[in-house]
Structure 1
Amino acid sequence: MKKISTKKMTALALMSALAAVLCLMLRVPLVPSLGFLTYDPKDVVIGMAGFLFGPWSAAIVSAISSAIELLFRGGNIIDWMMNVLSSCTFVCTAAVIYRRMHSKNGAFIGLVAGMVVQVLAMLLWNYVMDPIYFGMPREAVVAMLPAIALFNVLKCLINSVILLLIYKPISNALKRSGLIQKKEEEHVSDKKAMAVVGTFLMITAVVILLSVANLI
């Protein structure tokens, strides 16, 4: 297994800190009917990590920045899990596609695919988790799903536009500075990527079946 370089470790640490700071400092409600859902630009930074280094690095930055957010804003393991799930379904999907189609079109297609995956994933997991977390009837959660979908679409659109605008200038600047090098980019096998996707889909299916059976 290839060891992570000091420069890459430094870059990921800086990105994790920056993503956490942006999340803590800048939060904007996008859908008035769901004030508890607020937009923050941390996925832009996580997306930079994904495009520069690959989906596993993006997942690391997401996990660390969400843990930092948890320390400062409070919450529990469910908050952390939903934050990581939201970021990773969007960013890691985009990063996997961009790795295979390393072009502007690849980045655009990846971000669109990431948006679709994130919206579907968050609809499913909010349907399952919100009755447990908020103690509300599942019927009330179902009534909120269109607003939740709208929120995630708007969030992904904003992050995608910002990422498409700033990725190349920042990437070129980091490469000129020597902080990142092309040879440090991840090379994730298709089998590993499919295994992760398959595991996520299996867990989602199991949780949905349990919720439908009123076991959770």
Structure 2
Amino acid sequence: MNTRIKQITTLGMLAALAYIVMAVIHIPVVPALPFLWYDPKDVVIVIGGLIYGPMSAFLLSLVVSLVEMATVSSTGILGLIMNVISSSAFAVTASYIYKKRRTMSGAITGLLSGIVLTVVVMTLWNYIITPIYTGMPREAVAALLLPAIIPFNLIKASLNAGLTMLLYKPLVLGLRKTSLLEQPEKQTKRFNPGMVILGLFLVATSALVILILQGIL
């Protein structure tokens, strides 16, 4: 199997996995706003981008969002636009920076930059699009930006970044064992405590905030 076929096969598998976790896992973040819920598809998408580059991250975002619109989503073309923008803001940003600096610090910088850009971009696009598909007055949406929409996107992107830090290495090692990914010329450490600790911190903090918002804690 040549490299191009391996890449297409792997991206197809990642797209399918991203769709499955999107369809199966729905975690409400802000109970008063049912359209603000978390699914982990962006974790799979950004891992694909970290492996193959920002264009692959964008294509995964587009393909998964199209299939989502055609099957389980009820938000139509506006939901498609929001999903592509949200996934791309996080995954394309992270994978672009990592492509320029393929080091642990490059990966961390990329993921943290993805968090920041997701919050900024989705704050703007929620202000523009949310009134159209929910029927809410724009003033009401503006009033929700600080107490709900900005925290939601910060939690979502932070959780995605944390899970990516924890899952990227095991997934890549698994793909290499199946020969879908080539072995690197220079071997790297299989376990990086700094990355794992930061990933656990982001996941734990995001989970605690979600539980607080839901009134469980």
TM above 0.5: yes
List aligned pairs for 1:109-120, cutoff 5 A: 109-120=109-120
Q: Which runs of 5+ in 1 are unaligned?
A: 184-216
What one-letter code is carried by the residue in structure 2 that aligns with 1:143?
Answer: A
Cα distance per residue 1:161-212 (max 9 Å; x no partner): 11101111211221232102379xxxxxxxxxxxxxxxxxxxxxxxxxxxxx
Q: Normalised by the size of structure 2, how large is the TM-score?
A: 0.79
Tell me which residue corresponds to 1:64.
Answer: 63
Offset at 1:74?
A: 3.5
* Cα gap change, 1:57 to 1:117, in 2 (>3 Å): same
Alignment of 1:14 with 2:22, yes or no, is: no
List aligned pairs for 1:1-216, cutoff 5 A: 5-75=4-74, 76-146=76-146, 147-181=148-182
Which whole-Å CA distance do the structure 1 matches of 2:139 and 2:183 have between them? Answer: 50
Which whole-Å CA distance do the structure 2 matches of 1:4 and 1:176 have between them? Answer: 15
DSSP-derived class of the 2:43 partner: helix
Offset at 1:4?
A: 7.8
Which whole-Å CA distance do the structure 2 matches of 1:74 and 1:109 have between them? Answer: 32
Cα distance per residue 1:62-88 (max 9 Å; x no partner): 111111111221331111110010000
Which whole-Å CA distance do the structure 2 matches of 1:182 and 1:150 have between them? Answer: 40
Cα distance per residue 1:96-122 (max 9 Å; x no partner): 111111111111111111111111100
DSSP-derived class of the 2:165 partner: helix
Count of matched residue positions in the alignment of Structure 1 and Structure 2: 181
What one-letter code is carried by the residue in structure 2 that aligns with 1:105?
Answer: S
The list of structure 1 runs, each at least 4 consecutive aligned residues, that deviate by more than 3 angstroms after superposition, is none
Which whole-Å CA distance do the structure 1 matches of 2:108 and 2:120 have between them? Answer: 19
What one-letter code is carried by the residue in structure 2 that aligns with 1:168?
Answer: K
Identity of aligned residues (%): 41
Q: Which runs of 5+ in 2 are unaligned?
A: 185-217
Q: Which moved more, 1:173-182 or 1:38-47?
A: 173-182
Which whole-Å CA distance do the structure 2 matches of 1:99 and 1:65 have between them? Answer: 22
* Cα gap change, 1:11 to 1:38, in 2 (>3 Å): same
Offset at 1:46?
A: 0.2
Which whole-Å CA distance do the structure 1 matches of 2:3 and 2:136 have between them? Answer: 45
What one-letter code is carried by the residue in structure 1 that aligns with 2:165?
Answer: L
Q: Normalised by the size of structure 1, how large is the TM-score?
A: 0.79
For the aligned residue pairs, the C-alpha RMSD in angstroms reads 1.7
Which whole-Å CA distance do the structure 2 matches of 1:83 and 1:182 have between them? Answer: 33
What one-letter code is carried by the residue in structure 1 that aligns with 2:51?
Answer: L
DSSP-derived class of the 1:5 partner: helix
Offset at 1:33?
A: 2.8
Which whole-Å CA distance do the structure 1 matches of 2:178 and 2:13 have between them? Answer: 15
Which whole-Å CA distance do the structure 1 matches of 2:3 and 2:82 have between them? Answer: 27
What one-letter code is carried by the residue in structure 2 that aligns with 1:86?
Answer: S
